[in-house]
């Protein structure tokens, strides 16, 4: 057994391995570029032919990943395919597929399960399978392990299985794939050893934990910590507002404490593919053990109420001008879920737009990162980004600052917008036409 393990470890250490990355989105693509940059051959596998064709033509479909970096990877041996039979060529298979929630807020494991089923016929001895998708504790053991072993392969002996959660922060210039420490748990000690050999080539610091379950729980704790603290500060925002206190001033002041406090800022709701979704993986799994995760559910309730809160602030502002919501023209500033990215998943801006449209508002948006409103599973707007000019701003009854992109000209907005609903604390000085939300 150790002969096989040692041989596989050596394949990674000598960089002779072919790295297979399954799922070429916000997580898979940066990982591909990193392995390619350090001299590994990389095969990208995705069911989306459009993505595969773009990558093979040296193009990028994610704003913060440059065309130059993709075309350079192509020139140095990267290729993408929709052909799962090529799985057998790979020494490592890193799964970076989505794990959304269904409408009942239960984990939708179909992407993970269908992907594993598609890999299954082509798995062979000497490979490592690593799941990076955020999920509930027990997924690797319950869903991947039996499928990997179905054809007679033995995990820990002649094939290796690990869980190593992704940690990406798109739009954050201070971190890249290489510099973010990587947590990893193996199904057996041999699995862990092979997993460390795979990741320590590409990541500066690898952090080992005792099991795949511990690694799965680690990722959930990271995201639940954020969700709960954002819920707390969103609740504090409402209290502070009633008391005539600026919550952003308070958070900034509290953040000067050098220990025991981490600054979280309120906003119009939670967005992205992690923070609004992942905590409910634990809620769902905890039910199996007869437990209720009250903090998670409470913060979810608070955060989900934020778009309604922003709308109520808009109603107040229009009311002061003698206007009704119905028939008012409203411009959303930013529809990506966080600043300086083009990612629209779970964006609270879109929820606000839907609430406004349902109440008879004429809704438009401007976002330098999203030129045309993209097709989304749940939301449909036939819109493209408005020009942000003095003349255009003056045409709207109100603007809602939902996503505080650095590319916005905030002084231009301050001068020419009739009414500003600021959900991001960009405007600190009190002005009659600015309402904090």
From 90, 96, 191, 274, the catalytic residue = 274
Q: Which of 398, 138, 414 is nearest to 284 (CA)?
A: 138
Rounded CA separation 40/35 (Å): 5
Distance of CA 258 to the CA centre of its chain: 29
Q: How many CB atoms lie within 10 A of CB 249?
A: 12
Task: Name the E strands within 213-278.
Answer: none
The sign of the CA dihedral 98, 281, 379, 307 is: negative
Q: Which of 414, 349, 410, 346 is nearest to 385 (CA)?
A: 349
Q: How many CB atoms lie within 10 A of CB 16?
A: 11
Burial (0-12, 13-18, 19+ Cβ within 10 Å), 382 = exposed
- Residue 292, H or E segment: none
Task: Give one word for 280, left, alpha or beta, with left for phi > 0 and alpha for psi -120 to 50.
Answer: alpha
Task: Name the E strands within 102-255.
Answer: 127-131, 159-163, 182-186, 206-209
Residue 176 in tokens: 């890249």
Rounded CA separation 310/394 (Å): 21
Q: Which of 54, 65, 55, 57 is nearest to 26 (CA)?
A: 65
Rounded CA separation 25/65 (Å): 11
Our answer to whether residue 274 is catalytic in this structure is yes
Q: Which of 407, 430, 432, 405 is nearest to 417 (CA)?
A: 432
Residue 204 in tokens: 């500066």
Rounded CA separation 181/219 (Å): 12
User: Which residues belong to the active site?
Assistant: 274
């Amino acid at each position: 057994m150790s002969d096989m393990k040692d041989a596989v470890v050596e394949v990674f250490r000598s960089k002779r391995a072919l790295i297979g990355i399954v799922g070429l989105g916000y997580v898979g693509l940066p990982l591909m570029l990193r392995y390619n940059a350090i001299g590994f051959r990389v095969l990208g596998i995705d069911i989306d032919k459009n993505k595969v064709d773009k990558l093979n033509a040296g193009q990028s479909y994610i704003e913060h990943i440059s065309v130059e970096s993709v075309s350079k990877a192509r020139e140095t041996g990267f290729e993408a395919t929709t052909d799962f039979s090529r799985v057998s060529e790979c020494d490592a298979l890193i799964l970076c597929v989505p794990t959304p929630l269904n409408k009942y807020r239960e984990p939708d494991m179909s992407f993970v399960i269908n992907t594993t089923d598609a890999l299954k016929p082509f798995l062979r001895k000497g490979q490592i399978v690593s799941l990076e998708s955020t999920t509930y504790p027990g997924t690797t053991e319950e869903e991947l392990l039996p499928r990997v072993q179905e054809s007679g392969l033995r995990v820990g002996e002649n094939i290796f299985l690990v869980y190593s959660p992704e940690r990406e922060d798109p739009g954050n210039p201070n971190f890249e794939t290489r510099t973010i420490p990587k947590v990893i748990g193996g199904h057996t000690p041999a699995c862990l050893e092979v997993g460390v050999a795979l990741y320590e080539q590409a990541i500066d610091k690898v952090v080992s934990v005792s099991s795949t379950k511990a690694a799965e729980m680690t990722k959930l704790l990271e995201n639940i910590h954020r969700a709960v603290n954002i819920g707390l500060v969103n609740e504090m925002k409402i209290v502070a507002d009633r008391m005539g206190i600026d919550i952003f001033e308070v958070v900034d002041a509290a953040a000067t404490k050098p220990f025991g406090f981490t600054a979280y800022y309120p906003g119009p709701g939670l967005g992205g593919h992690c923070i609004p979704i992942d905590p409910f993986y634990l809620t769902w799994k905890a039910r199996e053990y007869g437990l209720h995760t009250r903090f998670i559910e409470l913060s979810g309730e608070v955060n989900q109420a934020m778009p309604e809160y922003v709308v109520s602030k808009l109603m107040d502002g229009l009311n002061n001008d003698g206007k009704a919501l119905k028939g008012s023209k409203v411009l959303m500033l930013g529809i990506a879920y966080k600043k300086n990215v083009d990612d629209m998943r779970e964006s609270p801006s879109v929820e606000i737009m839907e609430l406004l449209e349902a109440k008879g508002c004429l809704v438009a948006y401007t976002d330098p990162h999203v030129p045309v409103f993209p097709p989304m599973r749940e939301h449909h707007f036939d819109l493209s980004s408005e020009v942000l000019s003095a003349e255009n701003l003056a045409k709207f009854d109100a603007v809602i600052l939902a996503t505080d992109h650095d590319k916005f000209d905030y002084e231009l907005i301050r001068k020419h917008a009739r009414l500003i609903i600021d959900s991001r604390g960009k405007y600190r000085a009190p002005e009659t036409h600015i309402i904090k939300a």
